[in-house]
């Protein structure tokens, strides 16, 4: 569904991605793993059009999207959940969710706010609460829920587990897995938390200093002790 060929992204003199080749198959979770500074966020920003690739080609469903704007990407069915859980803190949970319905794609998961509340019941319980009163886990659920309301076919998730208790991470990752199974959603999940990410991913891609150093099934990567110690931190 998504293919990167030879993608290089720079910030002035800093090359954050070097010649990255990557494939994310439809209906699968592809985890992109790597330490802080590996280039994970740059990868997602380059895919979703927030940052321009300096070299290479990005295809979504066979279409060259390398130079597409973020709005056009959303309409094409790609929804990016940036790191940092950006919610509009002065609005209620429900109002934040409604924002997700703006600029929907033409095809995709066609979810309603009620469907999102079924997935994340706490968002229903706290529907009238101002978003600034939410816990970190609730905020993460809200940003994922909001992204789903844009009816994506593909979801880009940037470190959803950061700073959350293991129990909450398990819960959120379980729901992401369930979405993939039930809706056929395609997910590119960027994580430093390699162990948790590999537990729900089908495929893993390991980034180190902006280069892909391994790309294989999640089972093969998890079983590779040398790789785990060298790059995955466990």
Ligand X SMILES: Nc1ncnc2c1ncn2[C@@H]1O[C@H](COP(=O)(O)OP(=O)(O)O)[C@@H](O)[C@H]1O
Interaction site with ligand X (CB under 6 A): 11, 14, 16, 34, 36-42
Supply the minimum distance, in Å, between the C-beta of residue 160 and ligand X: 13
Tokens read off for 39 = 């280039």
Q: Which of ligand X, Mg ion, none has residue 36 at its interface (CB below 5 to 8 Å by kind)? A: ligand X
Separation in Å, CA 145 to CA 135, 151, 220: 15, 10, 31
Angle between helices 166-183 and 136-148 (to 10 degrees): 10
- By beta-carbon proximity to ligand X, the closer residue of 50 and 91 is 50
Separation of alpha carbons 33 and 218, rounded Å: 11
Q: Provide, rounded to whole angstroms, the least separation between the CB of residue 212 and Mg ion.
A: 16
> What secondary structure letter does DSSP report for 210?
T
Per-residue mark of binding to Mg ion, 40-79 (x: CB under 5 A)? xx--------------------------------------
Closest residue to Mg ion, judged by C-beta, is: 41
Q: Quote the CA–CA distance of 177 and 90 in Å, as a whole number.
A: 31
Question: How far apart are alpha carbons 70 and 47 in whole angstroms?
Answer: 9
- Longest distance between any two alpha carbons in the chain, whole Å: 49
CB of 163 to ligand X, least distance (A): 14
Smallest distance from ligand X to CB 210, Å: 7
Q: Footprint of Mg ion on residues 22-41 (CB under 5 A)? A: 40-41
Q: How would you class 223 by CB atoms within 10 Å of its CB: exposed for 0-12, middle for 13-18, buried for 19 or more?
A: exposed
Closest approach of ligand X to the CB of residue 80, in Å: 13
Q: Which does 38 bind (CB under 5 to 8 A by kind): Mg ion, ligand X, none?
A: ligand X
151 binds Mg ion (CB under 5 A): no
Q: Which residues are at the interface with Mg ion (CB under 5 A)?
A: 40-41
């Amino acid at each position: 569904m998504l293919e990167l060929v030879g993608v290089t992204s720079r910030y002035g003199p800093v090359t954050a991605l070097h010649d990255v080749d990557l494939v994310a198959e439809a209906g699968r979770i592809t985890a992109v793993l790597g330490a802080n500074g590996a280039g994970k966020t740059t990868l997602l920003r380059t895919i979703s059009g927030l940052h321009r690739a300096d070299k290479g080609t990005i295809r979504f469903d066979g279409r060259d999207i390398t130079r597409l704007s973020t709005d056009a990407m959303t309409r094409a069915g790609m929804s990016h959940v940036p790191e940092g859980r950006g919610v509009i803190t002065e609005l209620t949970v429900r109002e934040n969710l409604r924002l997700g319905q703006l600029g929907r794609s033409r095809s995709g998961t066609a979810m309603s706010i009620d469907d999102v509340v079924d997935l994340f019941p706490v968002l229903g319980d706290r529907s009238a609460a101002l978003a600034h009163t939410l816990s970190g886990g609730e905020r993460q659920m809200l940003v994922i829920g909001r992204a789903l309301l844009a009816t994506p076919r593909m979801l880009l998730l940037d470190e959803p587990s950061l700073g959350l208790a293991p129990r909450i991470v398990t819960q959120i990752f379980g729901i992401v897995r369930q979405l993939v199974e039930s809706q056929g959603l395609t997910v590119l999940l960027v994580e430093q938390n390699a162990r948790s990410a590999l537990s729900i991913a089908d495929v893993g891609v390991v980034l180190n200093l902006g280069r892909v150093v391994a790309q294989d099934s999640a089972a093969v990567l998890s079983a590779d002790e040398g790789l785990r110690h060298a790059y995955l931190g466990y």
